[in-house]
Every structure is written in structure tokens, then in C-alpha cells.
């Protein structure tokens, strides 16, 4: 979909369909000559209730009126959701060029960005494995953002980031027999190839993972014949244009492309969705691509540990002990707690590569869904300044995170009986926080944050991402890079 911004009045554009947002008690901001839009409101057909829709024809165009709720409660997420439902109705009606008249007095919510994000995410469809007979063509071809002020820069930025979100959704939704660790590595190589001057990549397999002492990562990969991949992306802005005060960021993603649970096998119900256990890795790869496309003045190292977790004659067993790259020994009490094993070695690798701030993104624990459902991602941090940066970035991006506790009593629960640490604490004892404390043991004192996205990575139910992969945390990682570079000027 082409996306442009204009200062031309919406009614004067070439759009066949125009969207107007309704705020409670404020009426239609720019009506047509015969008052057809306000008449729709007066008749009670068009309502300001959030996401209520009404359609009419006037002045040679189709008009969609969408409710935005009260001015006091209006925020960027409300605008994103309104854009999502408006896109759905416009597509049903056969629109080709859709123009949004931006809500008045909503500058603080960056409405242009929110409309672009909501529309492009709602327009997403995963059709790579559909037969030719299932024709998904015929959708909206162009989105125009109309306002008195020029929003071209905000629109261009939103397009880059939202396309990265949708690319991550493609990776999440691709079946595991196609989205192998090798394929994820190839995607990282393609992203880097699109930005050869600023983004480089290294992808190594099983032999090199073992040679680097990554015993925890290698243990997870033992059970599959698929070649694992340690993916390292490095972004260096053109001309080295980075202030000395800007720390090197380390983005670390869990890339388990299929998780059966290993010998501690998962129940059959829902296992088909375990292709999305690489969501953290997808977010890191695509966020690095967006950061490179935006040319942000910050250095970023992206590390993804990609493997399958399967059963097999060589698979790790409960009770096995392995040595991590950090030198800590790990006892495997449950083979379905594999993500933290992969991340342990990847966090160490990011530190070795020069990361001065760490954030990992992972579908780590089902337990986080019991605490936060599909609404918030769990968030842990061991440094208050870094925590504030991450929380601020998530707020700017419009992705909900909730601070969870780190505590020495949780750390006690991951001490091993036969090794330094155990990969699973006793049952029903703060599983998400003990998983975070396990990872904490491998951060080496570098300021670190952890995002558990198990609940938010899939089937969000939002108007712009109701089913399948959500591309969660791509927006937050990009906003974090922006925030760090901006705050360190």
C-alpha cells in the first residue's frame, strides 16, 4: 500500500473514500456543503462511541465516520484501533484510495503515525501458503494522510516501522518446516544486504556454536537434525555519526523456530502454534532493519539464537548438566524450559560483542499469561535508568509492558543441586520471575532488561492484529534506539 501525506483538504484529494473521526460532543470538524455528515450524526446513525462506524455518500465520495470516544480518553492506541476498523470497512466497500482526515487537536498523540500503523497492520494478510485460487488481491492501494500541518516525516517513519512489524509477522506465521533456523538466518542476511553500508551480519552453525563454548545453546539444538544458527547483526551508522555518550545497545532475541518441549513434551493442544516461539528473534531482526532504514545515530548489536527444540536420540534429558559460554554450569530439570538456555549464551555473546545495554525479547514462560493475559508483556530490569528508557520507549511505541520483580528470593530458587543454576524452579513458585532471575545470572553486570512476550506475541484480538503473529516489540525496540540516541545528545 502506498502511503502519502498532504496538507490538501481531504475532500479535495483524489481519494474515493474519506475517513473522519468523531469525538464526543464535538460534531463533524469539516462537513460537506449539504451537511450530509452531521446529518448522519444527528440521525443517530454515526456515533462517537469508540470504533462505531457509519457510511454515507456525498460530494462524489464515500465517507466513513468512525467513533473516537471522549477527548479526555483519546490516545494513540484509540486512533490505531479506529484506523484498523475503518480499514476493514473501507476494504469491504471496495475502496482503492483511502484518505484519513486527522483528528483535530490530537497532536500529542502523533495521530498520523497512529493512523498509518493501525491501517497497515490491519491490511496485513499472510497468504504465502494459500493456493492461487484464494485470491487476496483487490485491497486498498493507497492511504493518504490529510491535515493542515505537514506530517510527511512522521508518515515516512511510521511506514518503515510498520512494514518491519508486518515482516516480523510473516516470520512468525511461516510454518516451522519452512521457517527453520537456517531460513531465519537467511532473512537476517537479506535484511543486512538491503543496508550494506551500515548493517552487517554473521550466521554460524552447530560446529561454531560448540566451538564458542555455548554449551547451553548447543544442548537445546542436540535434539534436531536442523542446523541451528547463531545470528549476529551489527548496525553502525554511516560515517560513525554517534555521540560518545550513546551506549552500544544489545538486542537479544529467542529464536526457537519450533518448540515441542523436547523430552518434557508439551500437550498436543496448541502445539501447532509453537512455530511462533521465535517471535523475539523475529523482532530483533526486523527492528535492526528498521533502525538501519531510519539511519538512527546509535550502535546496535542484535543477537538471535535460532534452533528447534525436539525429541530424538541425541536430545538433552532432564538431569543433564551443561557448561554455558559464561562458564556457569546449568542443570536441565525440564527440557521445555529451553529458551532461557539459548538466551543465556546469547546474552553472554552480546556482551562479548561490546553491548553496553542489554534487552532480551522472548516468548519465555506460559506463566506470564496467567499473570498478565494477552494485554501486557512482562518486564524486568536491574538498572533504574535503563528501566526508564525501556518503559518510555514502550509507551512511545504504544506497546504495554508491566514491571515485574527481581529479588534474591527468586534468585535462590534457580540455584542448582548438581550445577551452578537450574533451568526450572520448583513448580508454582513465580515461574516468570525465576526465569528472569536465571537470565540475570548471565548479564555480567551490564544494565539489562527482559521482556516476556508469551502472551502478547500471538492472537492479540486487536482490530489491527486479531489473529496470528502480532510483530510485538519491533516498535518498542526501534523507539528504544531512537530514545537512547536522542537522550544522549
User: 161-487 maps to which CATH number?
Assistant: 3.40.630.10
pLDDT tens readout for residues 167-206: 999 999 999 999 999 999 999 999 999 999 999 999 999 9
Average pLDDT, the chain: 96
* β-bridge pairing 377-381 and 401-403: parallel
* β-bridge pairing 249-259 and 229-235: unpaired
Q: Is the pTM of this model over 0.95?
A: yes
Distance in angstroms (rounded) separating the CA atoms of residues 446 and 358: 7
Domain 2-147, second-level architecture = 3-Layer(aba) Sandwich (3.40)
Grid coordinates of 432:
516468570
**If you average pLDDT over residues 277-283, what whole number do you get?**
99
pLDDT tens readout for residues 350-406: 999 999 999 999 999 999 999 999 999 999 999 999 999 999 999 999 999 999 999
Instruction: Identify the CA nearest to 88 among candidates 69, 66, 106.
Output: 66
| Per-residue pLDDT band at 489 (split at 50, 70, 90) | low
pLDDT at 138 over 80: no
- Which of 47, 61, 89, 266 is catalytic? The answer is 266
Residues 102, 468, 182, 367, Cα dihedral to 10°: 110
pLDDT tens readout for residues 44-71: 999 999 999 999 999 999 999 999 999 9
Is 340 part of the annotated catalytic residue set?
A: yes
Domain chopping of the chain, boundaries: 2-147, 161-487
- Which of 62, 206, 299, 340 is catalytic? The answer is 340
**If you average pLDDT over residues 459-473, what whole number do you get?**
97
Higher pLDDT: 347 or 241? It is 347
| pLDDT attached to residue 99 | 98
Task: Tell me the percentage of the chain whose pLDDT exceeds 70.
Answer: 98
Q: Can you say how many angstroms the Cα of residue 285 is from the centroid of all Cα atoms in its chain?
A: 10
Q: Which of 101-105, 163-167, 200-204, 254-258 has the lowest mean pLDDT?
A: 101-105
Grid coordinates of 278:
521465535
| pLDDT attached to residue 242 | 86
pLDDT at 488 over 70: no
Q: Exposed, middle or buried: residue 215 (CB in 10 Å: 0-12, 13-18, 19+)?
A: buried
| pLDDT attached to residue 132 | 75
Q: Can you say how many angstroms the Cα of residue 308 is from the centroid of all Cα atoms in its chain?
A: 21
pLDDT tens readout for residues 102-124: 998 777 779 999 999 999 999 99
pLDDT at 135 over 80: no
pLDDT tens readout for residues 287-328: 999 999 999 999 999 999 999 999 999 999 999 999 999 999
Amino acid at each position: 500500500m502506498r502511503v502519502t501525506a498532504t496538507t490538501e483538504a481531504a475532500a479535495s484529494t483524489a481519494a474515493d473514500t474519506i475517513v473522519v473521526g468523531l469525538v464526543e460532543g464535538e460534531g463533524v470538524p469539516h462537513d460537506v456543503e449539504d451537511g450530509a455528515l452531521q446529518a448522519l450524526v444527528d440521525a443517530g446513525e454515526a456515533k462517537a462511541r469508540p470504533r462505531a462506524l457509519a457510511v454515507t455518500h456525498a460530494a462524489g465520495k464515500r465517507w466513513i465516520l468512525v467513533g473516537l470516544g471522549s477527548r479526555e480518553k483519546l490516545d494513540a492506541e484509540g486512533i490505531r484501533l479506529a484506523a484498523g476498523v475503518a480499514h476493514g470497512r473501507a476494504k469491504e466497500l471496495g475502496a482503492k484510495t483511502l484518505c484519513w482526515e486527522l483528528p483535530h487537536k490530537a497532536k500529542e498523540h502523533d495521530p498520523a503515525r497512529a493512523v498509518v500503523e493501525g491501517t497497515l497492520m490491519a491490511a496485513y494478510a499472510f497468504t504465502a501458503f494459500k493456493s492461487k485460487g484464494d485470491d487476496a488481491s483487490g485491497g486498498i492501494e493507497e492511504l493518504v494522510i490529510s491535515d493542515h500541518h505537514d506530517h510527511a516525516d512522521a508518515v515516512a517513519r511510521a511506514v518503515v516501522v510498520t512494514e518491519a512489524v508486518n515482516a516480523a509477522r510473516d516470520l512468525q506465521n511461516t510454518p516451522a518446516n519452512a521457517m527453520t533456523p537456517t531460513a531465519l538466518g537467511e532473512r537476517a542476511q537479506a535484511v543486512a544486504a538491503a543496508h550494506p553500508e551500515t548493517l552487517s551480519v554473521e550466521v554460524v552453525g552447530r560446529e561454531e556454536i560448540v566451538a564458542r563454548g555455548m554449551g547451553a545453546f548447543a544442548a537445546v539444538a542436540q535434539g534436531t537434525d536442523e542446523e541451528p544458527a547463531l545470528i549476529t547483526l551489527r548496525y553502525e551508522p554511516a560515517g560513525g555519526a554517534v555521540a560518545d555518550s550513546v551506549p552500544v545497545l544489545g538486542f537479544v532475541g529467542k529464536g526457537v523456530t519450533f518448540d515441542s518441549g523436547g523430552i518434557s513434551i508439551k500437550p498436543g493442544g496448541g502445539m501447532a502454534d509453537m512455530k511462533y516461539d521465535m517471535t523475539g528473534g523475529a523482532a530483533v531482526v526486523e527492528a535492526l532493519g528498521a533502525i538501519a532504514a531510519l539511519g538512527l545515530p546509535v550502535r546496535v548489536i542484535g543477537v538471535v539464537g535460532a534452533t528447534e527444540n525436539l525429541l530424538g536420540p541425541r536430545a538433552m534429558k532432564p538431569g543433564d548438566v551443561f557448561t554455558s559460554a559464561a562458564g556457569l554450569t546449568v542443570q536441565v530439570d525440564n527440557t521445555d524450559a529451553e529458551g532461557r538456555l539459548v538466551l543465556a549464551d546469547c546474552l553472554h555473546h552480546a556482551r562479548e560483542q561490546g553491548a553496553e545495554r542489554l534487552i532480551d525479547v522472548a516468548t519465555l514462560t506460559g506463566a506470564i499469561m496467567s499473570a498478565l493475559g494477552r494485554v501486557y508483556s512482562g518486564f524486568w530490569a536491574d538498572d533504574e535508568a535503563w528501566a526508564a528508557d525501556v518503559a518510555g520507549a514502550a509507551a512511545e511505541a504504544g506497546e504495554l509492558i508491566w514491571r515485574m520483580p527481581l529479588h534474591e528470593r527468586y534468585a535462590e530458587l534457580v540455584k542448582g543441586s548438581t550445577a551452578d543454576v537450574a533451568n526450572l524452579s520448583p513448580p508454582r513458585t513465580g515461574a516468570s520471575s525465576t526465569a528472569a532471575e536465571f537470565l540475570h545470572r548471565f548479564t555480567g553486570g551490564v544494565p539489562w532488561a527482559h521482556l516476556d512476550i508469551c502472551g502478547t506475541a500471538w492472537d492479540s484480538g486487536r482490530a489491527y492484529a486479531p489473529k496470528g503473529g502480532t510483530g510485538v516489540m519491533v516498535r518498542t525496540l526501534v523507539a528504544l534506539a531512537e530514545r537512547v540516541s536522542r537522550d544522549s545528545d
